[in-house]
Amino acid sequence: MIDYLRLSQLDDVLEMLWAEGPGILMLAGGTDILVRPQPFAGARILLDISRVEQLRDIAVDPADDCLVIGAAATHEEVAWHPQVSRRAQLLAQACRLVGSAQIRNLGTLGGNLGNASPAADSVPALACLDAEVVLSGRNKQRRLPVLEFFTGPGSSVRQPDEVISSLRLPRQRGRQVSFFLKAGQRRGMCCSKASVAFRARSHSDGRLSGVRVALGAVAPTVVRVPEAEQVLEGRRIEPRLIDEAAAACSRAARPIDDIRSTAEYRKAVVGALLTDGLFRLGDKMKQRRRPRRRRPR
């Protein structure tokens, strides 16, 4: 038997975690927990945090101009929030590709991280946006870069008395370009076999800077690919560089065979996803740079 408890104040959640930590299983949208073969294994209390308003806010912190997204915000709320669209388009794109409308309306950003799956779609996007995870406990709080949160498939540095309270995204300067692409069994309602997130600042002459590339579902945790980033840093997108960056992604991938895919396919498809995304982005950027013809008077 497990006790179910729903709290609406963050302070009460933190008190509860402090008092009962290891016996508690937090429930947000339930879209990961409730499909497990033994959903509540080892837990005494199922603590529902989905109604805690302090965990659902999405707003800009005037102190440091970071966009702060509450961990219990759903994928649908994140995907269509005006501040997210304006400042973190890449995260909006990733959240729009999660599962189906039903899953996006229940599943939360905090749950996507809490589950610690290497296939979590929000994580490559958050890594490319230099996001920090905020972990809160009774009388304590710590922040860490999003990829430092994960220690392996299904495991993280979160202590039993801590909740993921928010994600903090610093403001990105200049004109930003980005894409998130995933390969799955079908277009909707499925987890990624492999995914690629890309973000950079684009300059008026077509050069890129601050390049970030992250891969999902091809290693024990989501990984950045510094080798691919360096290939593109300070350069314009061109076919030879796309090939080099794609090859770097395939080399960086350390996938496994599992029910969703084979390691061989995953290794090949991450390169193909980056190639596809960069070709499309390169075309878009060229069109933008082309001088507009004046209409004859």
Hey, what are 10's tokens?
């963050």
Among 78, 84, 87, 110, binds ligand FAD (CB under 6 A): 110
Site membership for ligand FAD, residue 98 (CB under 6 A): yes
| Residue in the shown chain whose Cβ atom is closest to ligand FAD | 111
Site membership for ligand FAD, residue 163 (CB under 6 A): yes
Site membership for ligand FAD, residue 95 (CB under 6 A): no
Residue among 107 and 255 whose Cβ is closer to ligand FAD? 107
Site membership for ligand FAD, residue 120 (CB under 6 A): yes
CA distance 188 to 98: 8
Q: Shortest distance, CB of residue 33 to ligand FAD, whole angstroms? A: 4
Q: Count residues contacting ligand FAD (CB under 6 A)?
A: 31
Is the Cβ–Cβ distance between 126 and 146 less than 8 Å?
A: yes
Among 28, 127, 200, 248, binds ligand FAD (CB under 6 A): 28
Q: Shortest distance, CB of residue 135 to ligand FAD, whole angstroms? A: 8
Q: Considering only residues 175 through 194, tell me which ones interact with ligand FAD, judged by CB under 6 A.
A: 189, 191
Q: Considering only residues 36 through 75, tell me which ones interact with ligand FAD, judged by CB under 6 A.
A: 49, 71-72
Hey, what are 238's tokens?
């061109």
Q: Which stretch binds ligand FAD (CB under 6 A): 81-89, 158-166, 272-280, 288-296?
A: 158-166
Q: Shortest distance, CB of residue 113 to ligand FAD, whole angstroms? A: 7
Among 25, 60, 157, 263, binds ligand FAD (CB under 6 A): 25
Please give the residue ranges that form the binding site for ligand FAD (CB under 6 A).
Answer: 25-33, 35, 49, 71-72, 98-99, 103, 106-108, 110-112, 114-115, 120-121, 158, 163-164, 189, 191
